[in-house]
């Protein structure tokens, strides 16, 4: 299987073995490693060899040529996140993951999420459900009070981030985020978290996880309540393990008093 092969040959041999020259700053506060680039090249070649005619858009290719994103919501597209959680990986921490999604006209139709460290592979196909390690994902029976929430707000100014967390903590058990979307979505499905908030909506960060979540009975939208869609220009993403939890979180986190909806920037 392509992702497992790349994890075994490119990713894991360099975990906790990166040389200083193999880590660089891609943008302020965001690092990239030689592993991101080499893994994406290998995944690109493997997907291209399938010959289905889909365009291939990878995170590192977009960092070199942002124009690749201009039509990401049109037609058939492979989306590659070769190493999600790069900052964790570069620091010798986990979690980190690999994600691939096949998208048609902005809608994910099939996705894969691999944890290279454990080998856990999650898969979803639109209309056919979600599996983890080849087994159907069981129905969630977890009901915590208060629900557990991971709020990805680290790109907010510090004072806005603190205000959001204080507001959310009135009703939610706010937990540290894993800084890895590949892990965040799996935690929602497997019962470790109930709600997740994401500020940025880069397509490779969410396409695979969104399909996995919804096929397991969860719900995901943009902050304005519009259905999640690749290529949309809305702000942020709110995801939850089921519709009831989403509604409760939306009533709280997306309340105008929480201050998210008046942010000027789109993420």
Give residue-wise pLDDT tens across range 100-130.
999 999 999 999 999 999 999 999 999 999 9
Alpha-carbon span 90 to 81, nearest angstrom: 16
Judge whether residue 166 has pLDDT over 50. Answer: yes
Query: What contacts 51, CB < 8 A, 6 or more positions away?
Result: none
% of the chain at pLDDT higher than 70: 97
Please check whether residue 153 is in contact with residue 165, taking contact to mean a CB–CB distance below 8 angstroms.
Answer: yes
81 DSSP β-pair partners: 99
- CB half-sphere exposure, 152, CA atoms < 13 A: 24
* pLDDT(259) > 60: yes
User: Which residues are CB-neighbours of 132 under 8 A, at least 6 positions away?
Assistant: 120, 121, 122, 123, 186, 189, 190
Is residue 131 predicted with pLDDT exceeding 50?
A: yes
Q: Tell me which of 180 and 27 has the higher pLDDT.
A: 180
Question: How high is the pLDDT of residue 30?
Answer: 87
**Model confidence pLDDT, tens digit, residues 169-209:** 888 999 989 999 999 999 999 999 999 999 889 999 999 99
Q: What is the pTM of this model?
A: 0.94
Domains in the chain (CATH in brackets) are 2-136 (3.30.540.10), 148-258 (3.40.190.80)
* Confidence at residue 233, expressed as pLDDT on a 0 to 100 scale: 76
3-state secondary structure the chain: CHHHHHHHHHHHHHCCCCCHHHEEEEECCEEEEHHHHHHHHHHHHHHHCCCCCCEEEEHHHHHHCHHHHCCCCCCEEEEEEEEECHHHHHCCCCCCEEEEEEEECCEEEEEEEECCCCCCEEEEECCCEEEECCEECCCCCCCCCCCEEEEECCCCCHHHHHHHHHHHCCCCEEECCCCCHHHHHHHHHHCCCCEEEECCCCHHHHHHHHHHHHHCCCEEEECCCCECCCCCCCCCEEEECCHHHHHHHHHHHCCHHHCCCCCCCCC
pLDDT category at 38 given cuts 50, 70, 90 is very high
Q: How far apart are CA 234 and CA 232, in angstroms?
A: 6
The answer on pLDDT for 76 being more than 80 is yes
Q: Which residues share a beta bridge with 221? A: 227, 238
Give residue 267's pLDDT band: very low, low, confident or very high (50, 70, 90).
Answer: very low
pLDDT of residue 89: 98
């Amino acid at each position: 299987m392509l992702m497992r092969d790349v994890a075994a040959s490119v990713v894991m041999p360099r975990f906790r073995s990166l040389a200083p020259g193999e880590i660089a700053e891609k943008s302020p506060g965001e690092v990239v490693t030689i592993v991101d680039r080499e893994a994406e090249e290998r995944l690109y070649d493997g997907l291209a060899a399938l010959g289905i005619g889909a365009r291939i858009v990878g995170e590192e290719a977009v960092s070199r040529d942002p124009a690749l994103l201009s039509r990401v919501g049109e037609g058939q597209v492979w989306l590659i996140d070769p190493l999600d959680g790069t900052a964790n990986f570069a620091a010798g921490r986990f979690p980190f993951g690999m994600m691939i999604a096949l998208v048609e006209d902005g809608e994910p139709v099939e996705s894969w999420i691999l944890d290279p460290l454990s080998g856990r592979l999650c898969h979803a196909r639109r209309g056919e459900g979600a599996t983890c390690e080849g087994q159907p994902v069981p129905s969630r029976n977890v009901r915590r009070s208060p629900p557990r929430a991971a709020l990805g707000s680290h790109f907010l100014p510090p004072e806005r981030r603190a205000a959001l967390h204080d507001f959310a903590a009135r009703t939610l058990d706010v937990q540290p985020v894993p800084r890895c979307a590949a892990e965040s979505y799996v935690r929602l499905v497997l019962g470790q978290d109930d709600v997740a908030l994401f500020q940025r909506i880069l397509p490779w960060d969410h396409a695979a996880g969104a399909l996995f979540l919804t096929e397991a009975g969860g719900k995901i939208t943009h902050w304005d309540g519009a259905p999640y869609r690749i290529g949309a220009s809305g702000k942020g993403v709110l995801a939850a393990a089921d519709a009831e939890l989403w509604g409760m979180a939306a009533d709280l986190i997306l309340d105008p008093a929480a201050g998210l909806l008046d942010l000027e920037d789109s993420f």
